[in-house]
Each structure stands twice: as structure tokens, then as C-alpha cells.
Amino acid sequence: MLSPHATDSSPTATDPDGCAEHVSCDAHSLDNRWLSWASHILAGGAIDRSQALEILNSSDDALMDVLSAANRIRRHHFGKTVQLYFLMNAKSGLCPEDCNYCSQSKISDAPIPKYNILSREKLLDGARLAAERQSKTYCIVISGRAPNEREIKAIETIVPEIKQKFGLNICACLGLLNESQAQRLAAAGVDKVNHNLNTSRDYYEKICTTHTFEDRVETLRNVRKAGLQLCSGGIIGMGEKREDIVEMAFSLRELEVESIPLNFLHAIDGTPLERKEYLSPRDCLRALAMFRFVNPSSELRIAGGRERHLRSLQPLGLLVANSIFVGDYLTTQGQPPQEDYQMIQDLGYEITGQAMVPE
């Protein structure tokens, strides 16, 4: 499991020019490795699993060097832009799966709203709010193992109307999909489908037994066959080892995922993982940096748990990631949008690709 790292307390010495340094020059050389790796990536190379693990294992003293190197990769691919996403929980609870982290699963006692797929009017209201909040992508999420025919038809009907009225990109998160369902979503105008891997292949059975890691991979493959972009990430802080986090990052790279939402476990009362939180803000930043190194050109989004775990270090997360959700998550609240806008402005970044808001 991740845990706060001890700081380096090596003695210092003063060189003839009066500069305080660590006694060993090797420490400085090691610090330069992050920039060397970034340069290698920008030249078309890649890091391997052992190097990715080194990033997660790096010390607090090395954190700013790691972030600076990851920021070079971010700037190359995304400049100073931030892409905003808005999430609508279009169907809540009522899920037959046993995902340990989820407040909507059949094994959760969390007191959450439970309802079937929202009406056309409510989905349009959500789209309007997404546009007003300067989002470019509207995420329509339904709980459940897989969509039924009524739910697929509802998405097919509403997506063209949303795109015509607001110019929003649509990301649909509907559970497991077969090839036919993915093709229907593509024909309706859906731009990308979200289906998170959530963790590594080896650790998956520790958090869910009603479907497998391979089931999720198959859905992503069906989505790719339909010509849609892939949105897939995971959750950090569920008791996994650092090696599991690395494996998840490399699985996403192998699938060539365009958009990666990285969540930090918000341990919700009533779920099997309640009171399991142990991440520090520095742990979260190291994980974000590792994902940027492994998936340099993918959109990297700081997702659920951002406010709870990064806390005052949220701006440092955007030195590495280039996207956030604005507003609330599925069953937990986010911070007020104005705080996000102010953070982006204070960093000297700009929101890009906003939708249009009808007068």
C-alpha cells in the first residue's frame, strides 16, 4: 500500500564556491534522472515498469523534481490548457455487482438516492449546466452491470439533441457493452465511452467478484471496434500494492486509452472499504506523475477524491494532469466550480474547448 514517505536527512557540506550540497554527488545525478526520462519520452521513447515503480517509490525530497519532469511532458502535449468534464449520475443505485468501493453496489449500505434512468428533461438540464460550467464533455453515467434496451434507446434519443443544442462532447458510462451496443452508441453520436479498469488484473478479484478484469477489457475492445475513443482509468487507495498501480498504468497504455480519469478512494460509509483511507497528498501526486510518464499523450484527469486527498496541493496536480471534473461526482460532492476556475486562473492556465450555452 502507499504510505507517506520519509524525507532524506543526509548531511550537507559546503563546496569551495559556498554552495550547500549533499555529501554525495550521486544524489544530484539521481534527481536528474526524472528530466532525463522526460526527454527520452519526448523523443519518442518510453519508460519501463521498474522506472514507473521508482516514481511511486521516490522520496518527498524528490517530489518537486518528479513533478517538474512530468510537467515537461504535459506542456509538450497540452500546453497550459485544462479540459473540464461534467458528470451526470443518470441512474443511481440498483446495481447487482459487488464492487467493494462503490456506494451503488448490491453489498453497499450507503444511504444514497436510488432511481432509474433520468427523463429527457433532466438529462437536458444536466447538459445545460455542463455548458454553463465551461465543460466540453458531458458524462452520462448509469449504474448496473450492463444497459438494458430501454436505457440504450434513451441514450440514442437524447445524445443527438444534446449535441445539437449545446455542442457538447458525450462520454457514456453504461457498464459492460457488447459489439452491437457499442456500435449503436457510435451511430447515435457518442464520442467516447468510459469503462474503468479500476486496478490491476491480479488485484481485481480483491475488489469485485461478479465480473472480471477481462470482462472490462473486452468492453473496451468492443468500444474501440466501434470507432469510439476510450476513457478508462482506475482508483488508487483500495489496498493494492504499488506494483498493481504500475500494472494498471501499463494496461491502459497497451489499450492506447485516450482519456484517463484517476480516482483516489473516497471511502464511503456503508461500503466494504469504509475507513480504508491512507493516501497522502504526496502519494497522489506521485501517482499522477507516474501515469503521465507512462501515458504521455493521454488526457489525464484528476477525478473522484481530488478535493479530499490532494487538499491544498490540488494546483500541483494540474502541473501533471490536464483535466478535472467540475461539480459533483456520482454520489459524493466536489468543491464549488468557482474554486476550480480560480485555481486554473492562478496557475496561468486556460480552460479550453467549452461548449456553447444557448441564450
Q: Which residues are catalytic?
A: 95, 99, 102, 139, 171, 231, 301
Of 228, 222, 233, 221, which Cα lies nearest the Cα of 196?
Answer: 233
Q: Give DSSP secondary structure letters for 230-265.
A: EE--EEE-SS--HHHHHHHHHHHHHTT-SEEEEEE-
CA neighbor of 350 nearest in space, from 359, 358, 340: 340
Q: Could you give the CA distance from residue 66 to residue 205 in angstroms, rounded to a whole number?
A: 32
**340: enclosing H helix or E strand:** helix 337-346
Element (H, E) at 188: helix 179-188
Residue ranges of E strands in the chain: 12-14, 20-22, 81-91, 137-142, 169-173, 192-194, 229-231, 234-236, 259-264, 299-302, 323-325, 350-351
Q: Cα separation of 215 and 99, whole Å?
A: 14
Give the torsion sign (CA, 166, 169, 174, 178).
positive
Query: Which residues make Cβ contacts (< 8 Å) with residue 200, sequence separation at least 6?
Result: 213, 240, 243, 244, 245, 247, 248, 251
